[in-house]
Structure 1
Amino acid sequence: MNQSDYSYGSLPNDIALKIAYSLEVPDLSSLSCCSRVWREICGSDCLWESLVKERWSLLYETVKDPNFKDWRGFYVKQHEEKKAQAASVVNVVEHCSQSESLEILDYLQAIECLKTMHFGFKDVQMLLLRPRLNVLLNLIGLNYCLNILQVPHLSLQAVHIVEALRNSKIADRQVFVQWWKPGRWFYGFRIRNDSFRCVSLEDLAVEKDEEVLAVLEPETTHELLTTVQISVVNSTSNLQASQSSP
Structure 2
Amino acid sequence: MELSPPSPAPAPEGRWADLPGDIAISVASRLQEADVCALGGCSRSWRRACDADCVWEALFRRRWPLAAAAGGGGGGEGEWASGVQGWKALYINHHRRTAVAISGVAEFVENNLRNGSLEAEYYLKAIANLASMRDIGFIDAQFFLLSRNSSAIMNLIGLHYSISSLNIPPNEVYKALQARKVEERKVCVSLYKLGRWFYGFRLPDESESHEISLSELTMSEGATILAILKRGAVHEVFRLQVSLVDINK
Q: Structure 1: how far apart are the matches of 2:168 and 2:220?
A: 12
5 Å matches for 1:36-185? 41-57=49-65, 59-60=67-68, 62-63=70-71, 69=83, 70-115=86-131, 116-154=133-171, 158=172, 161-180=173-192
Q: Structure 2: how far apart are the matches of 1:131 and 1:10?
A: 37
Q: Structure 1: how far apart are the matches of 2:62 and 2:38?
A: 20
Task: Report SS of the residue matched to 1:230.
Answer: strand
Higher gyration radius (CA): 2
* TM-score, length of structure 1 as denominator length: 0.70
* TM-score, length of structure 2 as denominator length: 0.70
Matched residue, 2:214:
201
Kindly state the Cα deviation for residue 181 of structure 1 after the two structures are TM-superposed.
Answer: 6.6
Task: Report SS of the residue matched to 2:209.
Answer: strand
**How many residues of Structure 1 are paired with residues of Structure 2 in the alignment?**
221
Matched residue, 1:242:
none
Task: Report SS of the residue matched to 2:175.
Answer: helix
Kindly state the Cα deviation for residue 188 of structure 1 after the two structures are TM-superposed.
Answer: 9.4
Per-residue CA shift, 1:57-79, capped at 9, x if unaligned? 454454479x7843322211111
Q: 1:90 to 1:58 in 2, by over 3 A?
A: same
Kindly state the Cα deviation for residue 87 of structure 1 after the two structures are TM-superposed.
Answer: 2.6
| Correspondence for 2:227 among 214, 221, 231 | 214
Task: Assess if the C-alpha contact under 8 Å between 1:94 and 1:134 holds in 2.
Answer: no
Q: Structure 1: how far apart are the matches of 2:246 and 2:48?
A: 54
Kindly state the Cα deviation for residue 27 of structure 1 after the two structures are TM-superposed.
Answer: 4.2
Q: Structure 1: how far apart are the matches of 2:197 and 2:91?
A: 55
Task: List runs of 5+ in structure 2 lacking aligned partners.
Answer: 1-10, 74-80
Sequence identity, in percent?
31
Task: List runs of 5+ in structure 1 lacking aligned partners.
Answer: 236-246
Task: Assess if the C-alpha contact under 8 Å between 2:121 and 2:232 holds in 1.
Answer: no
Kindly state the Cα deviation for residue 80 of structure 1 after the two structures are TM-superposed.
Answer: 1.2
Kindly state the Cα deviation for residue 203 of structure 1 after the two structures are TM-superposed.
Answer: 0.7
5 Å matches for 1:26-41? 26-29=34-37, 31-32=39-40, 34-35=43-44, 41=49
Per-residue CA shift, 1:117-174, capped at 9, x if unaligned? 53222222222223343211111111111111110234xxx1xx32332343321221
Question: Could you tell which deviates more after superposition, 119-128 or 94-103?
Answer: 119-128
Task: Assess if the C-alpha contact under 8 Å between 1:124 and 1:141 holds in 2.
Answer: yes
Task: Assess if the C-alpha contact under 8 Å between 1:174 and 1:199 holds in 2.
Answer: yes
Q: 1:68 to 1:124 in 2, by over 3 A?
A: farther
Task: Report SS of the residue matched to 1:208.
Answer: helix
